[in-house]
Amino acid sequence: DTEVTQTPKHLVMGMTNKKSLKCEQHMGHRAMYWYKQKAKKPPELMFVYSYEKLSINESVPSRFSPECPNSSLLNLHLHALQPEDSALYLCASSLPSFYNEQFFGPGTRLTVL
């Protein structure tokens, strides 16, 4: 298995809703990442998990809450989002070695109403 999967593909939520994004990989990668991508812009790093521990938080607002329950799974819990949080949310994973290129999932298109 050489892919990163993300669910759901699309999500529409209100500003008072609570929802979660899910990411899964079975490549034995021990680093996992969340990115946010606005239209016509490059991806921006949000969080990095290494060996299931949060190692980087790029000053992301607390309404985004990441979780890494095991080495294959990464979640992003969403609560009280704003319309400007609408974007494509990408998950990536990499090996814990020097040759640790990041492989991306297809993304979740999030719309906040």
Partner 1 sequence: GQQLNQSPQSMFIQEGEDVSMNCTSSSIFNTWLWYKQDPGEGPVLLIALYKAGELTSNGRLTAQFGITRKDSFLNISASIPSDVGIYFCAGQSHTGTASKLTFGTGTRLQVTL
Q: Which is nearer to partner 1, 73 or 80 (CB)?
A: 73
Q: Compute and round to an integer the Cα radius of gyration of the chain.
A: 13
CA-CA distances (angstroms) from residue 30 to 27, 54, 69?
Answer: 9, 12, 12
Site track 24-63 with partner 1 (rule: CB under 8 A), x = hit:
------xx-x------xxxxxx--xxxx---xx-x-----
- Which C-beta is closer to partner 1: that of 5 or that of 18? 5
> Which residues of 1-113 form beta strands (DSSP E)?
4-7, 10-13, 18-25, 31-37, 44-50, 53-57, 64-70, 73-79, 87-94, 103-104, 108-112
Instruction: Give the tokens for residue 43.
Output: 């991806």
Smallest distance from partner 1 to CB 16, Å: 27
Residue from 60, 73, 80, 88 in contact with partner 1 (CB under 8 A): 88
Residues binding partner 1 (CB under 8 A) = 4, 6, 30-31, 33, 40-45, 48-51, 55-56, 58, 88, 90, 92, 94, 96-107, 109
